[in-house]
Structure 1
Amino acid sequence: MRVHVADHPLITHKLTVLRDKNTPSPIFRSLTEELVTLLAYEATREVRTETVEIETPVTTTTGLAISSPRPLVVPILRAGLGMLEGMVKLLPTAEVGFLGMLRDEETFEPKTYAERLPDDLSGRQCFVLDPMLATGGSLGAAIKFLFDRGADDVTAICLLAAPEGVAALEKLTEGRDVKLVLGTVDERLDEHGYIVPGLGDAGDRLYGLV
């Protein structure tokens, strides 16, 4: 697994505001979208392209276009939905699938409760969106799900991660072509499996406590 931590002052600034417990949900959502667009720039650096010929107002030239099959963006419900708009702004031709993953708060084990994905992902580049990489269980299960459907190249994008989650994901994805793009790596997990200092429950802060 290849890990890329985006080192940019704008990313650090936006994360600082996201961490603040007094940041209201509308601002939290807006900043998440902006932050994901910055991270997506790094995450799509190896997106597959093909050469095309075009006509400019002056002459004929060649350029690049996104290859087929189109990339697939997969937000993990529900918190990953808050990252979707920022991703598709940068990659508007991508298709979007959905995975519902739920972490058991006692065992920390992931459960899949919903999915809307093509049956065959052969040859597809997939971009998985999940704000927090804590224990690594949910994201690891989601990535395995995509590879089981035939994906051959998966990039995961997270706002922040715990070192334990990065290590667990590396073990879970051993032998697979996986890239992990992060805004930052935090200090640790606490005894409840939450990232410290973290930013709380991303889903609750995006959408409320319902």
Structure 2
Amino acid sequence: MAAIVAPTSQTCPASLPPSVFTLPQTAQLEALFTIIRDKDTPRGEFLFYSDRIIRLLVEEGLNHLPVIPKTVQTPTGATYEGVGFEGKICGVSILRAGEAMEAGLREVCRSVRIGKILIQRDEETTQPKLFYSKFPQDIASRYVLLLDPMLATGGSAIKAVEVLKEHGVPEERIIFINLISAPEGLRNFCSKFPQTRVITGWIDKGLNEKAYIIPGLGDFGERRYCE
């Protein structure tokens, strides 16, 4: 009988900002991450297993939305004192890799509105620059699930939240969801927006000299969309 191996250690969440939350670090979760990290994993399997992780992340993100008391009548004629979500939500994906997380959101939230934002590095200033954004007209009154698979330095995510705030979204109504984070990016992001919650699947060791997440999984968008 094979031995049960404990999940590989990662950056301790206790050493990170209190607004950072990880998925339960189970052996199953590490097995899923091992598959998508493997450079030899075929694209079809990469899609399937990354989608499984994204679904778990979206479910966890919904756990952080506020609820209010709600009373309903059951088919037995009884009254049930339950809860309902406090307000409307929407997703905002950071293009292009963030689009891969939209299906996972739609699977658990019927008819959810989704906005898009394109941020790229300005070659002259080396700073993140907004190139395109399109949001629901009433986004200021919604809770926003910001979607991007990888958090490296945090520059794109920070710029995305700045744009959302410019459109009237309070930072405490934003939940940033990603698969893999670098500690440097988490600290950078959370120091800028301490009221925005971050839901991440795994916290890696850090960044190398090229600002790539190590061990990471490579370019998520390339592996997702390119044959």
TM value normalised by structure 2: 0.82
Q: Which amino acid aligns with 1:161?
A: S
Question: For residues 89 and 98 of structure 2, what CA distance do their matches in structure 1 show?
Answer: 17
Distance change (3 Å), C-alpha of 1:81 and 1:21: same
Counterpart of 1:159? 179
Q: 2:48 is matched with which residue?
A: 30
Q: CA deviation at 1:32?
A: 1.7
Equivalent position to 2:58, from 16, 24, 40: 40
Whether the aligned pair in 2 keeps the contact of 1:35 and 1:86 (CA below 8 Å) is: no
Q: Does the C-alpha gap of structure 1 residues 190 and 107 become closer, same or farther in structure 2, counting only changes over 3 Å?
A: farther
Larger radius of gyration: 2
Counterparts of 1:164 and 1:146, CA distance in 2: 22
Deviation string, structure 1 residues 126-159 (Cα, Å, up to 9, x no partner): 1111110001000111111112211121111110
Check the 8 A contact 2:114/2:136 in 1, yes or no.
no
Alignment of 1:120-135 (within 5 A): 120-135=138-153
Give the 3-state SS of the residue equivalent to 1:72 in structure 2.
Answer: strand
| Alignment-mate amino acid for residue 167 of structure 1 | R
> What is the identity, as a one-letter code, of the residue corresponding to 1:5?
T
Is the deviation greater in 119-128 or in 78-87? 119-128
Query: Which stretch of structure 1 is more off in the superposition, 137-146 or 109-118?
Result: 109-118
CA distance, structure 1, for counterparts of residue 59 and residue 86 of structure 2: 17
- By how many angstroms is 1:24 displaced? 2.0
Matches within 5 A, 1:137-176: 137-152=155-170, 153-174=173-194
In the other structure, the counterpart of 1:109 is 127
Change (3 A) 1:108 1:32: farther
| Residue in 1 that maps onto 2:218 | 200
Q: 1:22 to 1:96 in 2, by over 3 A?
A: same
2:28 maps to 10
Deviates more, 1:191-200 or 1:81-90: 81-90
Counterparts of 2:123 and 2:216, CA distance in 1: 17
Q: CA deviation at 1:195?
A: 0.5
Give the TM-score taking structure 1 as reference length.
0.88
Matched residue, 2:96: 78
Look up the equivalent residue of 1:48 and give its one-letter code: P
